[in-house]
């Protein structure tokens, strides 16, 4: 409950009052919290360290050290389209990551609520996601888990600002947990990951594939690759790049938007657009939209 915080570490209790759950994912829970004194609202991501390792204590200690290194990198990041890391409380079994709070919900829920986004809103949101990913890629950080659940909106308003979250730590989640997550949402998974069976020999280009899947979903409200398709299993759809643009859904979408989706959902990694190339695509050269993004 909200008030029983006796099991929380002293360092956390001194600084924050924890409240309701904001969301759940593979890593654990994210809770609303209030900074004591200022009453400022924040989000606290609670990660059980055992999620990071299936092995014994030695391995857990090793991974914990790597995670701390990564979290310190993440703390140093600063971008208007990325959720800001604010604080970290580290105990022997749990990591509490204090984050900037946003209150507009997940892009996922927004698309479900509205059925799909207007092309102009899709463009405004996509532009901000691409800026965030360019910022990460420029520092050699791959997000690895881009999907509409990890894209958060600042407010309920129609043309709001977007913040990317949940990056950098997914590579530490043990492969069993990760596999389960993929089985839940392989929708966003790049073909080269399926083809190399997750051996880790892939690059930043996996984020660009996911950006293509997200853009497709924003524009029409359904995914390009789906386990519901009767003609072909999901893995084969993805590795073969088997998706299309049925007239019934795509006739009102501009050729520029479709062209960008095609160039991101390109199975050949070498031909797939980089995020910088995506930002230079004609569809995103839109002064009105860029003004709304305020960046
Ligand atoms: P996981 O790694 O478990 O997926 P996330 O960091 O994606 O964890 O957080 C899970 C969910 O919690 C998000 O999808 C979102 O709904 C909510 N959430 C996470 N961070 C914030 C935040 N800073 N502000 C508001 N909600 C958040
Ligand atoms: Mg997540």
Please tell me which residue, 257 or 27, carries the higher pLDDT value.
257
Q: How far is the CA of 47 from the centre of ligand 2 (A)?
A: 12
Average pLDDT of every residue of the chain: 88
**225, 234 in Cβ contact below 8 A?**
yes
Tokens read off for 200: 């880790």
- Which region, left, alpha or beta, applies to residue 230 given φ > 0 means left and ψ of -120 to 50 means alpha? alpha
DSSP 158: T
pLDDT of residue 255: 98
Index of the ligand 1 atom closest to the CA of residue 108: 14
**pLDDT tens, 109-153?**
999 999 999 999 999 999 999 999 999 999 888 888 899 999 999
Q: How far is the CA of 81 from the centre of ligand 1 (A)?
A: 15
Report whether residue 45 contacts ligand 1, using a CB cutoff of 6 Å: yes
Report whether residue 151 contacts ligand 1, using a CB cutoff of 6 Å: no
Helix runs in 146-222, H state only: 175-184, 191-195, 205-220
**pLDDT tens, 52-65?**
766 677 777 777 77
Report whether residue 107 contacts ligand 1, using a CB cutoff of 6 Å: no
- Residues with a known catalytic role: 145
Q: How far is the CA of 246 from the centre of ligand 2 (A)?
A: 30
Q: Which residues contact 107 (CB under 8 A, 6 or more apart)?
A: 125, 148, 149, 151, 152, 153, 162, 214, 218
Nearest ligand to residue 20 Cα: 1
Out of 11-20, 40-49, 55-64, 203-212, pick the least confident.
55-64
CA-based nearest residue to 174, from 60, 46, 288, 23: 60
**273, 124 in Cβ contact below 8 A?**
no
pLDDT of residue 2: 46
How many residues would you count in the chain? 295
Residue 229 pLDDT greater than 50, yes or no: yes
pLDDT of residue 81: 97
Cα separation, 98 vs 135, in Å, equals 21
pLDDT of residue 183: 46
Q: For residue 250, give Cα distances in angstroms to 91, 115, 127.
A: 51, 14, 20
Report whether residue 143 contacts ligand 1, using a CB cutoff of 6 Å: no
Cα separation, 138 vs 129, in Å, equals 14
């Amino acid at each position: 409950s909200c008030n029983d915080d006796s099991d929380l570490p002293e360092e956390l209790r001194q600084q924050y009052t924890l409240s309701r759950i904001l969301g759940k994912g593979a890593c654990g829970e994210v809770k609303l919290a209030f900074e004591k004194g200022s009453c400022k609202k924040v989000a606290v991501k609670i990660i059980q360290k055992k999620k990071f390792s299936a092995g014994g204590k030695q391995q857990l200690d090793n991974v914990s050290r790597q995670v701390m290194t990564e979290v310190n990198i993440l703390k140093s990041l600063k971008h208007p389209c990325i959720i800001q890391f604010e604080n970290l409380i580290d105990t022997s079994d749990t990591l509490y990551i204090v984050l900037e709070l946003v209150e507009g919900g997940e892009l996922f829920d927004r698309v479900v609520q509205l059925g799909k986004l207007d092309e102009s809103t899709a463009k405004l949101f996509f532009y901000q996601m691409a800026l965030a990913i360019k910022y990460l890629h420029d520092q050699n950080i791959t997000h690895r888990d881009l999907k509409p659940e990890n894209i958060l909106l600042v407010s309920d308003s129609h043309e709001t600002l977007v913040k990317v979250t949940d990056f950098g730590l997914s590579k530490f989640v043990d492969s069993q947990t990760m596999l389960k997550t993929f089985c839940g949402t392989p929708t966003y998974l790049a073909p080269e990951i399926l083809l190399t069976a997750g051996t880790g020999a892939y690059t930043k280009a996996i984020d660009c594939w996911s950006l293509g899947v997200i853009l497709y979903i924003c524009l029409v409200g359904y995914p390009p690759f789906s386990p519901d398709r009767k003609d072909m299993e999901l893995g084969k759809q993805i590795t073969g790049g088997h998706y299309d643009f049925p007239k019934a859904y795509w006739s009102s979408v501009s050729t520029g938007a479709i062209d960008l989706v095609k160039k991101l959902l390109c199975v050949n990694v070498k031909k797939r657009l980089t995020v910088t190339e995506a930002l230079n695509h004609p569809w995103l050269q839109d002064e009105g939209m860029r003004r709304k993004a305020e960046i």
